[in-house]
Each structure stands twice: as C-alpha cells, then as structure tokens.
Amino acid sequence: MNDIKKIHLIGIGGAGMSGIAEILINLDYEISGSDLVHTPITKRLESLGAKIFYAHDASNVAEKDLVVISSAISQENLEVSEAEKLKIPVIKRAEMLANLMMLKESVAIAGSHGKTTITCILAHIFSSNELDPTYIIGGKVESFASNAKLGKGKHIFTEADESDGSFLLLRPHKAVIANIDNDHLEAYDNSFEKLKQSFKDFCLRTPFQGRIFANGDSSEVLEVIENLPRNVSLFGFSENNNFQILNFTQDKDGSNFVLFDKENNNKMSFKTNMLGKHNILNAAAAITVAIDEGISYEGIKQALEKFIVIERRFQVISEKVFEKDIILIDDYGHHPEELSVSINTVKEVWPNRKLLVVFQPHRYSRTKALFEDFVRLLSSCENLILLEIYPASEKPIPNYESDDLIREIHKLNPSAKLVRGIEEAYDAMKEIAEDNFIFLTQGAGNTSLLAKKFKN
C-alpha cells in the first residue's frame, strides 16, 4: 500500500467501516468517505481529519487511490460505478481489514452471536495489562474513547463477519469460534450446511502454528472443528471442554464463575458485571485467548472485574422508568436465539418481576427465514409490544411483514400489540407502567432511540 495515499470509504459511518477509517487515519492515510446521515461516529472521524460527504455522488471519488465498500453498498452505487470508470481499485471492507491484520499478531473473532462482546473483553484485558493492542470493534464500550484504536502493542483484535462470507478474506494467526446459528443463510444459498462449511474454511485459513478457540457446548461448532488439522482449545460449561466453566451464579450485581484449566489442573475464580450464560461463554472465550498469550490469572481477573458492560449488550439503562420501580434493559440481539437468551436471563436474575418485551424485527429476509421461530417465541411473551420490521435497506416481502407477524402471534397471544414507530412504542410502554416490572427493549434497528428516551 506504499503507493496508496488517498482512500475513500463508502458507508464510512458504519460500525466496521468507521473503525477501519480511524486506524487508517492514524496510519497517516488521507481519508474521505460518504454516508447519508450525520452521527457521533462521523463527527468523531471528521475531528480526526476525515473528509465526509453526506450524499453519494460520483465526484466524491475523484483523485482517490483506493475505494473501500461496506457489505451494504451495491455495485450500482454512483461512487462505485465512477471508481470503476476511472479504474480506481474497489475492495471490500474485509479485504482492507485483512491488510491491516497483516501488520500485527491477529486474533479474529467469528460466530453468529457475541463477536462484539468477545472482541471488547479482549481489548479491555490486554489494555488493562498495558499491552496496548490494536482493535476494531462493532460496538461501543463506554470505557473506550472509540470502537477502534491503533495501539503500539503486537496484537490486533477484530470481528470476522460471516454475514456475506467476507470473513474468508481474512488470514488470522488465531481465531475464536463463538457459535454457529441459522442466520444470514441468504448469503449461503439458504443452506445451513454451506454456512457451517464456510466456518470450517475460515478455521483452515489460520496457520498450523496458530490456534482455534472454540465453543465446545455448540454441536455445530464441534461439527466444524471435527478432525480439523489445527490446534484447538475448547471452552464452555460441558465436561468435554479444555476450559470448563464451573459454579456459575448471577444476581442483579453481576456474575461469578470458575474456569477450570484442565491441562494445568488450575481452577480460576472470576467476577464480572455482565449477566447471562451467553456472556459468561463470551468471557471464557476471551480468557482462554489471554491465557494462551501469557497474561497472568491475576491480570485477567482484575481486568474482568473492571469491565464495563457494552452499549446495547444487555445494558441496564434505568431503574426508575416513569418514576416507578421499573428496570429498563436494552439489548442488540435480533435473532430468536438471542432474544430467548435475554428473556431467560431476565427471568433468572429477577424471577419475581413481570416482564414486558419490546421487540423490533430486523430485516424482512431474516423475518421470513425464521418466521415460525419468531411467532413461537414472541407468542410466549405475556406482555409484548412489537415494532414494525426494521428494513435495513431491504424491500418488504409479501406475507412476511409486520402485520403478518402480529396476526400469527395474536392466535396464541391476543394481547400483543403492534406499534408504528418509536413514539407510539413509548406511549404503549407508558400504559404498562407498573411497579415491579422489567422492560426489555430488543433489536438491531432503531430501538436504541427508544432506550435513549429513558436514559435522557
């Protein structure tokens, strides 16, 4: 990349793209980008020196040496077409990420769920132990100034996105496989088998001397790593794991657990502010990587105790909603499995409270693919407010729209309510404002705006 000085990123405000942009700025590249809206992310990038255009226009790529596109950008985009016309190279975000990963000892975190959380915990542990890692994260951590940092240390941590298959462009030294679920199948010819094969191919892109850290509680993950010619360490709750989670307990103040390193016959006690078995699995993944990289038990333990819950990852927003004894929790999860985990965690930690679920489906394609799962799960919620599907640039799919979803839910849960927009959802929540409630706002669309109304 010595001859490349001016890099333009289309969709620069996205979580993954903005992190790459910040790293490139710190590497002294001249960065520009385009996006449709002003956000705190784009404002930060501008403060660092990026030139951002708030509309897509062919002139934006003039005199650029390289164009980087996010997975949301189509080949018909005006700027992509102009770049190709001017013979400016156009590469995917993951290809740029792969180039950045070559600069350091890389650990890529893959999985259908939990990538952001694991990457955040790793960055926090290594930063707390003065190893100054480079990281690019898809979520915001309140203790970090940004979701990306160019560190002076030898490590780089990043998420490996399977949603469009682009994680196969990466060649990490080590990798984490958190889980594999039936999501983003549209990128794999609607075949779960092809998705699992892509995870196996990803694992094989690590070198022989590297290591795979895999969730041994997941049958799909175990299938992927079976007979894999790589070094593998398993983590999880079941006995087959090399690092087994024991004595897990949780309450409103956080979680406690023991991680049993069987190879060294060492039992290590940990405490964290995070809640939910899924987050303990995420923590265990990060701990196993940290141990493999030589960080001491005491260093990991102290770091984990100080870890601040990630924004929108089972985050307690308020404990006095509408000036009543109501706790509001906000979570990003948008797959039925993620929603189920959140609901179960609420019931385990606050067994005597009533629960209101405010859920926003994400994408018509996901709603269609998992329609029956959504109906079954949402119908079981005694108190449910359903927001309209967040399209994420998709066009509606007949028979799989919000009205179709609520119609099926009503067959088993007539009290469920469909609302049109954030303000209507807010008003509907007011109507259920009783003491001793948990309000759970869940979804990857703009439900964060709803949660912020209470936070502010």
The amino acid occupying position 4 is I
Structure tokens, 1 = 């990349």
CA 116 to chain centre: 4
- pLDDT-derived band at 69 (thresholds 50, 70, 90) equals very high
Structure tokens, 105 = 């000892």
Residue 4 reports pLDDT greater than 80: yes
Catalytic residue annotation: 115-116, 159
Distances (CA, A) of 174 to 10, 166, 178, 214, 233: 29, 17, 13, 11, 11
Residue 65 reports pLDDT greater than 60: yes
The answer for residues whose C-beta is within 8 angstroms of residue 425's C-beta and 6 or more apart is: 358, 385, 387, 419, 450
The answer for residues whose C-beta is within 8 angstroms of residue 264's C-beta and 6 or more apart is: none
Provide the 10 A C-beta neighbour count for residue 252: 10
What is the predicted pLDDT for the residue at 2?
A: 54
pLDDT digits (tens, 9 = 90+) for 270-328: 999 999 999 999 999 999 999 999 999 999 999 999 998 778 888 899 999 999 999 99
Provide the 10 A C-beta neighbour count for residue 314: 25
Q: List the one residue out of 345, 333, 432 whose CA is nearest residue 374.
A: 333
Instruction: Tell me the domains of the chain and their CATH numbers.
Output: 6-92 (3.40.50.720), 104-305 (3.40.1190.10), 315-455 (3.90.190.20)
Model pTM score: 0.89
Torsion of CA 416, 420, 426, 427, to 10 degrees: -80
